[in-house]
Amino acid sequence: MAANTDKNSYTILFAVAMVVVVGSILAFTASSLKPNIEENERMEKQQNILYAMGVNDNEDVSDIAFVSTAEVAQIFSGKISEQLVLEYKDGKIINKMTGDEFLNSKDPDKGIQPYLIDLKKQQNRAKEGKSRYLPLFVGEMEGETVYVAPIRGKGLWDEIWGYVALNEEMTVKGVFFDHAGETPGLGANIKQRYFMDDFYGERLLTEAGVFKGINVAKGNNDPKNESKDDYAVDALAGATITGDGVSAMIKKDLRLYLPYFNNLKTN
């Protein structure tokens, strides 16, 4: 090698070349794989929503099992009878749209499938003082109508999110939680079935109809989760902050739907 690798000019040249080469490799990979990745994420969202309302292949396994990717689109359109988008502002639902209305809207903030609505964007809109769009998926489970709502919050390291299926009394009929980077074996266990199954039958509202939410509680004297009236599920050992994140996102995001559910009851 003739070039003197200690010269400043060589160093700068090398750095520039490296940035260009690596940058193009990454850009090329990202853009050529993007359609596949988006398709996977789309199917995952549908699988998650269906999982929350009890449509899954859980029966033969102790782990979580989604409906297969090959069938998910068909099952999703079959099981979800209605996709709704509620426009929420200052404690009130100011507008109710069907999924098609939302999808066909010319408004650049709308115009997507309701299940693809990015909650982070909606939370930012609320911070800016704008109205936010709340997606809600209506289906049927155990002979009653269930409403699946997405939630999103913070865990210990990164985002956590989920879907909660509620009946008209806002009793939980099923949940699905996921996370971007919680610690394996600790916080990551919010995605385990034994944790998610505990939420079944827990109530969000008191008898008087006041929103109370569900606490992921330490020192719960009810490890088998027999009491469904305690507004608490047993926490995960070693995952205090992730558990608190789960409690917080349930309280914060599901409370927004309260006016809608109140309205259901009075009608």
Partner 1 sequence: MGLLSKKDTKLITDPLTDNNPITIQVLGICSALAITAELKASLVMGIAVLFVLGVGNVVISLMRNIIPSKIRIIVQLVVVAALVIVVDQVLKAYAFELSKTLSVFIGLIITNCIIMGRFEAFALANGPWRSFLDGIGNALGYAVILIIVGFFRELLGSGTLFGFPVLGDPIEQTGVYASGYENNGFMLMPPMALIIVGLIIWVQRSRNRDLIED
Q: By the criterion CB under 8 A, which residues form the site for partner 1? A: 1, 3, 5-6, 10-11, 14-15, 18, 22, 25-26, 29-30, 33, 36-37, 40, 44, 63, 157, 180-186, 188, 223-224, 237-238
User: Which C-beta is closer to partner 1: that of 108 or that of 223?
Assistant: 223
Token reading at 113 = 């499938």
> What are the residues whose beta carbons fall under 8 Å from the beta carbon of 253, sequence distance 6 or more?
119, 149, 150, 151, 152, 153
Residue 184 C-beta: closest distance to partner 1, Å: 4
User: Which C-beta is closer to partner 1: that of 12 or that of 264?
Assistant: 12
Q: CB–CB of 159/140 below 8 Å?
A: no
Which amino acid makes up residue 203? R
Residue 66 C-beta: closest distance to partner 1, Å: 9
User: Which C-beta is closer to partner 1: that of 26 or that of 264?
Assistant: 26
CA–CA gap between residue 165 and residue 52 (Å, rounded)? 6
Q: Is 129 left (phi over 0), alpha (psi -120 to 50) or beta?
A: left
User: Which C-beta is closer to partner 1: that of 12 or that of 94?
Assistant: 12
What Å distances lie between residue 81 and 75, 86, 99, 147, 177, CA to CA? 11, 16, 11, 10, 23
Residue 77 C-beta: closest distance to partner 1, Å: 21
Residue 16 C-beta: closest distance to partner 1, Å: 11
Nearest to 236 by CA among 203, 176, 193, 204: 193
User: Which C-beta is closer to partner 1: that of 182 or that of 202?
Assistant: 182
User: Which C-beta is closer to partner 1: that of 186 or that of 248?
Assistant: 186
